[in-house]
Amino acid sequence: MSQAAKYAVCPELYAILQQVHKETMVDVPRLDNLHKSVSYAMDAHLPGAFVECGVWRGGCSMLMALTAMARGDCSRDIYLYDTFAGMTEPTPEDQGFNGKDAARTWREQQREDHNEWCYAPPGTRPTEHAQNRL
């Protein structure tokens, strides 16, 4: 995995990235941050569940689950929230970090029965795909 090779990540995260990198749009530095956050919460015995909002194919949820499994603790709930229909229509306040008009991108990606922007087709969604890899 070339992107992980660019960054100094711990061996545990490197092994996890081999399993999740095709299931997420998130880059390695942010996945590293998520791994550290989950590790901290678990090592500090902080109560609560883990949540991913905007799941796509479930890569970040997989990372959370695999990090917990690596620590021998599978007791936490992990909740995944998504429309499973692509992006919802943006409001005028929704702008890309680069200033690009989100509504224009959304309109360009609109199809008859769904929106292609960040859409994971049936058969690739986390409930059908990623969980089978854990």
Decide yes or no: CATH 3.40.50.150 for domain 2-88+121-133: yes
Kind and range of the H or E run holding 50: strand 50-53
pLDDT digits (tens, 9 = 90+) for 22-43: 889 899 999 999 999 999 999 9
Domain spans in the chain, listed from the N-terminal domain onward: 2-88+121-133
Q: CB neighbours of 103 closer than 8 A, spacing ≥ 6?
A: 89, 90, 92, 94
Active-site residues: which are they? 32
- Tens digit of pLDDT for each residue in 69-103? 999 999 999 999 887 777 778 888 887 777 778 88
Which tokens in the block code for residue 3?
Answer: 């992107």
For residue 130, pLDDT beyond 50:
no
Give the alpha-carbon dihedral of 80, 108, 110, 100, to 10 degrees. Answer: 30
